[in-house]
Amino acid sequence: MFDRAKYAFILPAFLVVLIIGLFPLIYSLTISFMQVRLVPPIPPSFVGFANYIDALSQPRFWSSVRVTFLIAGLAVAVQYALGLALALALNSSLPLGRVYRAAFLFPLLMAPIAVAFIGKMIFHPGVGPMRDLFGLFGYIDPPFQTDPVWATGMLVTIEVWQWTSLVVIILLAGLQSLPRDVYEAAELENATRWQQFWGITFPMLLPISAAVVFLRFVESLKLIDTVFVLTGGGPGIATETLTLYTYQEGFKKFNLGYTSAISFLFLILIVIFGTVYVALIKPQLEKRT
Amino acid sequence: MSAQNAIRRPSHWPVTIFCLIWLLITVFPIYWIFVTSLKSPLAVNGGPTYLPWVDFTPTLDAWKAAFSGDRGDFFGPLTNSVLISVTSAIVALVIGSMAAYALVRFEFRVKLLAAVSFAVIAIGGYVALVHGLGLGKITGLGLSFILAMPTALILNTRNLPGPVLGNGDVVFWFVSQRMFPPIVSAFALYLIYAEMGKVGVPLLDSFVGLVLSYTAFSLPIVIWLMRDFFAALPVEVEEAALVDNVSRLRIFFQIVVPMSWPGLIATFMITLSFVWNEFLNALLLTTSQWQTLPVWLTGQNSYRGDEWWAIAVAAVISITPMIVVAAALSRFMRSGLSAGAIR
């Protein structure tokens, strides 16, 4: 009787994830080994790994891999550095602490697509305030849309604006759980605050830092909304991320087999990244404890 | 001297200024769209202007135009977004917290071999049925599932060699769904929905199709968050009820749920914000009738060009509910939600 109750509790969730989450994947996996085109319509045929080999030999695929990892890497590096500095600052008693906590939640809860439109307004070459800001420093009309470096910088900035708060919130929770007596001992030894940071705070925050960096990086790899609205992948394909590339192949060219193949390559890349990351970070964490 | 004192002692001013600058950076874009929504086309196109009444004259024209219906059907996408996000968040919350409760209070033992056999029978059966026997794709998927599920359940009761997966692994299985790039599952879902349409079940551009996809998309988060809340509940009350022969379902809905309102509400709002903000799934799975606000917004932009005042109104409307959610959530954060959410 007990057993039946426990299956009744978990079954609905299990079935929904299985049917909506996993079954389409099986179908799409089989499609990735076939040539399926809607435009022009040709009968599907089994082609083995041809789609995968085709994708791996496309410079455009590799360009989107590079763009995706570059934007995610830059954005997460800045988010972590900035987030740690802000968390340390907010951990000390600061006036308006509660205002900060509320303000930090706004960017997190805003639709990335709305953020993208706000970004488009702010970085607009004619009517955006960024033009005034850069004008102050002597850059007249910075080429946000037309230069690959500026366009990437713009996308990274928006990503940092939206997600740094999440890093702050998580690191702040970590900072508040650190034991106080270690600092008291360090005080007695006359350790400077710089030494205390590198000797105590940073190492003790390492596990939570590793987690938050991983979380943010994997999420950033999925970037599409801002790219879709702001640059459309341009100039050329200089800011085309993997998700956008997959979307373009699927819904502009309707080459379904090939699209399924790149989406699975994307999945494989994330799994490889995750495995390497855990393998690199684990000895570090074990060494400290 | 306490630890926090040691950190906070000198150099107070640079730290405060640094934080204030970041606060300004955080708030400015939000201020900017509010201000832009009050501008006339002329005030927008003349270059950046910052302060109402100082360098431009505010007007409510853009707001009036949005609500009068001049700019196409605006209430359609808004109603869609509300209906879809509220329904999916409720469904995900109910079935997700039930699953989370089960994963906290019961012990699950899944034999690895049974799980593997499920995957092999499901995939192999599908390939054999569809490409070997020439059945329809949906029939093939359905049949292979009906074959695989009982086989795996029966195998699981047998004495199989190999590792046994516990509750932690089941949770990991649920949560790992979130690690998938959404384009992978969204594109796969698009293909399946298209196939379902061919056999007479239209799921593309439908309410049911979107709610199902968002429920599946939200379940990992609900299970992850609610598991921590349930694990923190005292077990004694439930044990007392069990002695009195109260059924598990009644215990859950009449004892556990009333005790977990704060957690349930917080989780509901987080889920709601995810669904409300989601773009990619909606972009792939809708065409016209069930477009949500984010998709409609992009459509309007590419169709009409950069009418910033109108886009600003739509953006303000799309973020207002989330500002309410943020204000409510910031009260929950003190009760350790953030600490629970990161584990």
SS (H, E, C) chain B: CCHHHHHHCCCHHHHHHHHHHHHHHHHHHHHHHHHHCCCCHHHHHCCCCCCECCCECCCCHHHHHHHHCCCCCCHHHHHHHHHHHHHHHHHHHHHHHHHHHHHHHCCCCEEHHHHHHHHHHHHHHHHHHHHHCCCCHHHHHHHHHHHHHHHHHHHHHCCCCCCEECHHHHHHHHHHHHHCCHHHHHHHHHHHHHHHHHCCCCCCCCHHHHHHHHHHHHHHHHHHHHHHHHHCCCCHHHHHHHHCCCCHHHHHHHHHHHHCHHHHHHHHHHHHHHHHHCCHHHHHHCCCCCCCHHHHHHHHHHHHCCCHHHHHHHHHHHHHHHHHHHHHHHHHHHHCHHHHHCC
Q: Are A191 and A199 in contact (CB under 8 A)?
A: yes
Distance in angstroms (rounded) separating the CA atoms of residues A175 and A87: 8
Closest CB from B18, B185, B338 relative to A173: B338
Instruction: List, for residues B227-257, the tens digit of each pLDDT value.
Output: 888 888 888 888 888 888 888 888 888 888 8
Q: Residue B308: which of A9, A113, A121 has the nearest Cβ?
A: A121
Nearest CA in chain A to B278: A111
Question: What are the residues whose beta carbons fall under 8 Å from the beta carbon of A25, sequence distance 6 or more?
Answer: B184, B185, B188
Name the minimum distance, in Å, from the CA of B234 to any CA of chain A: 19
Among A88-97, A154-163, B108-117, B190-199, top mean pLDDT goes to A154-163
H or E element in which residue A35 lies: strand A34-37
Place of tokens 């209430």: B75
Range with the lowest mean pLDDT among A44-53, A85-94, B86-95? Answer: A85-94
CB contact under 8 A, A260 and B3: no
Q: Does residue B309 register a pLDDT over 50?
A: yes
pLDDT of residue A94: 60
Residue B32 structure tokens = 């900017």
Give the residue with greater pLDDT, B283 vs B52. Answer: B283
DSSP state of A138: T
Question: Shortest CB distance from A103 goes to which of B26, B130, B308?
Answer: B26
List of chain B residues whose C-beta atoms are within 8 Å of the C-beta of residue A181: 3
Query: Is ipTM over 0.85?
Result: no
Write out chain B residues lying below 8 Å of A8, CB-based. 248-249
Q: Looking at the complex, does the CB of residue B1 fall below 8 Å from at least one CB of chain A?
A: yes
Cβ of B44 under 8 Å from any chain A Cβ? Answer: yes
Question: B342 to chain A nearest CA, in Å?
Answer: 7
Closest partner CB to A266 (pick from B15, B19, B184): B184
**Searching chain A, which residue's CA lies closest to the CA of residue B215?**
A16
Whether B16 shows a pLDDT value over 60: the answer reads yes
Whether the pLDDT of residue A170 is over 90: the answer is no
A187-216 per-residue burial string, b: 16 or more CB within 10 A, e: under 16: eeeebeeeebbeebbebbbbebbbebbbbb
Phi/psi for A172 (5° steps) reads -65, -45
Kindly report which listed range (A76-90, B8-22, B290-304) carries the lowest average pLDDT score: B8-22
Q: Does B249 touch chain A (CB under 8 A)?
A: yes
Mean local confidence (pLDDT), B148-163: 80
pLDDT of residue B69: 67
The residues with which A46 forms a beta bridge, in sequence order, are A34
| Confidence (pLDDT) at A207 | 85
Q: How distant is the alpha carbon of residue B102 from its chain centre?
A: 21
- Alpha-carbon distance A83 to B52, whole Å? 33
Chain A: residue whose CA lies nearest to B220:
A17
Mean pLDDT of B14-35: 86
Give the residue from chain A lying closest to B322, CA to CA. A109
> B184 in contact with A at a CB cutoff of 8 Å?
yes
Residue matched to tokens 């990991």 = B172
**What is the average pLDDT value for chain B, to the nearest integer?**
81
The residue length of chain A stands at 289
B253 touches A: beta carbon within 8 Å: no
CB contact under 8 A, B311 and A121: yes
Minimum-distance CB partner of B45 among A99, A127, A172: A127
Confidence band for B38, pLDDT divided at 50, 70 and 90: confident
Report, as an integer, the average pLDDT of B78-106.
92
Which pLDDT belongs to residue A288?
Answer: 58
**pLDDT score for B337:** 43
Identify the top-confidence range among A131-145, A225-239, B45-59, B169-183.
Answer: A225-239
Q: What is the pLDDT of residues B262-276, one digit of tens each?
A: 888 889 988 998 899
Residue B297 near chain A (CB below 8 Å): yes
* pLDDT exceeds 80 at position A120: yes
The better pLDDT of the pair B330, B120 is held by: B120
CA gap B50, A256 in Å, rounded? 48
Q: What pLDDT score does A289 carry?
A: 53
- Taking an 8 Å cut-off on Cβ atoms, the answer to whether B191 and A31 are in contact is yes
Task: List the single range of A53-57, B126-130, B210-214 with lowest mean pLDDT.
Answer: B126-130
B161 to chain A nearest CA, in Å? Answer: 22
Contact flag A118-B29 (C-beta cutoff 8 Å): yes
Average pLDDT over residues A78-102: 80
What is the percentage of chain B residues whose pLDDT exceeds 70?
A: 91
Is the Cβ–Cβ distance between A151 and A120 less than 8 Å? no
Residue in chain A closest to B91 (alpha carbons) equals A13
What is the share, in percent, of chain A residues with pLDDT greater than 70? 95
Mean pLDDT of the B88-105 span: 92
Contacts of A191 in chain B (CB under 8 A): none
What per-residue confidence (pLDDT) applies to A1? Answer: 40
- Tell whether B276 is within 8 A of chain A (Cβ): yes
Residue A252: which residues within 8 A CB-CB, separation 6 or more? Answer: none
Considering chain A, what is the average pLDDT of its residues?
85
| 8 Å CB contact of B297 and A117 | yes
